[in-house]
Amino acid sequence: MASTNELKNGLVLNIEGQLWSVVEFQHVKPGKGPAFVRTKLKNVLSRKVVDRTFNAGVKIDTASVDRSDMQFLYKDGDDFVFMDTKTYEQINIPVETVGGSADYLLENQEAIIAQHDGTVLYVELPASVTLEITQTDPGLQGDRSTGGTKPATLETGAEIQVPLFLESGTKVKVDTRDGSYLGRVS
């Protein structure tokens, strides 16, 4: 249990049997009436974001979420196999739990695995990763200065939009949160 006065970003709350992560919070003391806390909460499993208001000083259930550094080893059917870098223990995580992170996972890549009561909640990748373009159409002569984009397939199979001047075999930096192109890597 925690008081609304102890809220902080990243804290995981157990509200009505669901886990919610605090994205942001604000203590409000109006000139008239009691103080309250306005929060923006993100559902840990569905990623849905909601606004919720609590009276100041109210007790809220907190959930213990263990985050551990793990290394992605290989894909086994529909499961992704990760290894804890400290204990060398391996766990299988279903593709539904890995979600969109699967588009940017390479073997031996580090990730943060969040667990609650032995259940894996989500896989968190670094903010950006470096991947190689395996296939993209060549840009047309004269198109290089227009700032246009074209689709490119990465070595993980994900497809992103890249500038027209990039070719197959080029290493690029990709934002794992939205799949956007961040730049070329030499």
Residues 90-109 have pLDDT tens digits of 888 888 888 778 888 888 88
What pLDDT, on a 0 to 100 scale, did the predictor assign at position 141?
A: 60
What pLDDT, on a 0 to 100 scale, did the predictor assign at position 143?
A: 55
Q: Is the pLDDT of residue 32 over 70?
A: yes
End-to-end CA distance of the chain: 50
What pLDDT, on a 0 to 100 scale, did the predictor assign at position 100?
A: 79
Q: In degrees rounded to 5, what are phi and psi of residue 95? A: -60, -30
The CA distances from residue 156 to 103, 111, 151, 168, in Å, are 6, 16, 14, 14
Q: Are the C-beta atoms of residues 1 and 59 closer than 8 Å to each other?
A: yes
What pLDDT, on a 0 to 100 scale, did the predictor assign at position 102?
A: 85
The structure's pTM equals: 0.68
Please give the Cα distance from 63 to 43 (Å, whole number): 13
Please give the Cα distance from 8 to 23 (Å, whole number): 8
What pLDDT, on a 0 to 100 scale, did the predictor assign at position 83?
A: 92
Domains present along the chain, CATH in parentheses: 2-60 (2.30.30.30), 66-124 (2.40.50.140), 128-185 (2.40.50.140)
Q: Is the pLDDT of residue 154 over 60?
A: yes
Where is average pLDDT lowest: 9-13, 81-85, 86-90, 129-133? 9-13
Query: How confident is the model over 131-146, as pLDDT tens digits?
Result: 888 888 876 665 555 5
Using pLDDT thresholds of 50, 70 and 90, give the confidence band for residue 165.
Answer: confident
Percent residues over pLDDT 90 in the chain: 6
